[in-house]
Amino acid sequence: MIKLREAPDKWTVAAFGKDRYSKQIKKYRRVTGSKQMAKRVDKDLIEELAAIRTGYEYSGTTYGGFLEKVFFPYVDEHSPGEHDNLTYSMRKWCTSIWQLKLDAINPKDIRSILDKMGEDCAVSTVKKMRSFILRSFNLAMEGGLKSNPVSTVKVDQKNCKEYEPGVLNREEIKILLTQAKILKPYYYNVWALSVFCGFRIGELIALQRQDIDLDQQMISVNKSWNKKIGLKSTKSGRWRKVPIADNLMPLIRELMVAPMNESLIKMNYILKKGDQSRVIRQFCEGIGITSIRHHDLRATFITQLFAAGASIAEVQAIVGHVDLKTTQRYLRLAGVDVAGVTNRLDFVLPQERVNNVVNMF
């Protein structure tokens, strides 16, 4: 049905039909242009209704519309812990297909998104995005979409930027903690615990005094915190024990003076908002040391453990890595896996001259 809304070129086009469950449905669209254009829109709406009748629930829906109305609410309900990250990432990187119809998107479109991401992001980030897009199309297939354009597209690791976390050396750690104790006492506690124990920020926020055994000098890490759902399990789903260094014990004893069932670190607005990386980055720039994110304190902790002679097994157990490859990556970053290797070369530089001829022996 085509109705003239405002003369001479504004039309309201409406079409009526039933879905696969015989429920009455209506589609309408407002058109500015000629009557011929309105007739083409009318034809499109009739085709969309026919597709819905045969089983495709999202006929005519753009990818962006599907994400906002269907997929994002679905994730919020079933995986609230990753909802914020997922929605932010997809709105940022899927702009090229946002206005395309769901059934018009092909593998080349997906490949273009992943390759574009690879110019700025690490392979793990690109793989995560592929997973997000794959899940969105899997949900669309439940509504009748015939195929998933992501299933045949793989992440090309050669096209991805290799991300290296920032790490502080021993002197920079000393400067950071010394200056923070004077200028930012609250963050001094947060950063000291992170660099001495390698906590993820969610694990640190969830830490309670009852999780600390002063006699054994051990901390039990058995939960984490998420701003969307509150307390949850750790990232790996496993608990672990972290030994408390002797140099950290005085601070731990100070923080233990309060009810045992309360948090060791009282959460402030910045931590609750998830903006802790901005704070430490600006602070590091201000005191003239390597600019890092908050999570890089964990990388600093791991590399310093390796530098101090800890084994891969010991580090993996303390930091809670499930995949050995993750731990080995930090071993390479610390450089201890190759330290001293060149000393095996037994030749020497020339030290003296004999009758204007260099003595090489």
CATH number at 325 reads: 1.10.443.10
CATH number at 86 reads: 1.10.150.130
**315 HSE (CA, 13 A, CB side):** 25
Banded pLDDT at 4 (limits 50, 70, 90) = confident
pLDDT (average), residues 96-124 = 91
Is there a domain that residue 144 lies in? yes
pLDDT (average), residues 61-90 = 91
Is there a domain that residue 165 lies in? no
Is there a domain that residue 348 lies in? no
Give the domain-ending residue among 107, 124, 159: 159
The answer to whether residues 40 and 92 belong to one domain is: no
Domain that holds residue 203: 170-334
The answer to whether residues 252 and 277 belong to one domain is: yes
Taking the C-alpha atoms of residue 317 and residue 325, their distance in angstroms, rounded to an integer, is 14
The answer to whether residues 188 and 318 belong to one domain is: yes
- Weakest mean pLDDT among 34-48, 67-81, 122-136, 290-304: 34-48
Banded pLDDT at 342 (limits 50, 70, 90) = low
Mean pLDDT of the chain: 86
Higher pLDDT, 345 or 30: 30
pLDDT on residue 65: 94
Give the domain-ending residue among 159, 186, 220: 159
Taking the C-alpha atoms of residue 116 and residue 161, their distance in angstroms, rounded to an integer, is 11
Give the CA angle between residues 293, 297, 299 to the nearest 5°: 100
Banded pLDDT at 358 (limits 50, 70, 90) = low
The answer to whether residues 47 and 90 belong to one domain is: no
The answer to whether residues 175 and 294 belong to one domain is: yes
Q: Residue 215: pLDDT above 90?
A: yes
Q: Residue 357: pLDDT above 60?
A: no
pTM of the entire structure?
0.63
Taking the C-alpha atoms of residue 353 and residue 358, their distance in angstroms, rounded to an integer, is 5
Q: Residue 307: count other Cβ atoms within 10 Å of its Cβ.
A: 14
- Contact by Cβ (8 Å): 145, 58: yes
pLDDT on residue 94: 96
- Contact by Cβ (8 Å): 122, 155: no
pLDDT (average), residues 74-98 = 91
Q: Residue 353: pLDDT above 60?
A: no
Banded pLDDT at 16 (limits 50, 70, 90) = confident
pLDDT on residue 334: 78
The answer to whether residues 82 and 219 belong to one domain is: no
The alpha carbons of the chain give a radius of gyration, in whole angstroms, of 29
The answer to whether residues 272 and 178 belong to one domain is: yes
Is there a domain that residue 78 lies in? yes
- Weakest mean pLDDT among 21-25, 200-204, 314-318: 21-25
Banded pLDDT at 98 (limits 50, 70, 90) = very high
Number of structural domains in the chain: 3
CA 297 to chain centre: 17
The answer to whether residues 111 and 238 belong to one domain is: no
The answer to whether residues 293 and 175 belong to one domain is: yes
pLDDT on residue 9: 82
pLDDT on residue 264: 94
The answer to whether residues 71 and 128 belong to one domain is: yes
pLDDT tens, residue by residue, 265-313: 988 888 888 889 999 999 999 999 999 999 999 999 999 999 888 898 9
Token pair in block for residue 42: 């009318």
Is there a domain that residue 354 lies in? no
Is there a domain that residue 347 lies in? no
The answer to whether residues 179 and 325 belong to one domain is: yes
Give the domain-ending residue among 111, 126, 159: 159
pLDDT on residue 237: 86
The answer to whether residues 140 and 203 belong to one domain is: no
Banded pLDDT at 337 (limits 50, 70, 90) = low
pLDDT (average), residues 209-230 = 92
The most confident of the ranges 53-57, 113-117, 272-276, 353-357 is 113-117
pLDDT on residue 21: 62
Is there a domain that residue 341 lies in? no
Is there a domain that residue 355 lies in? no
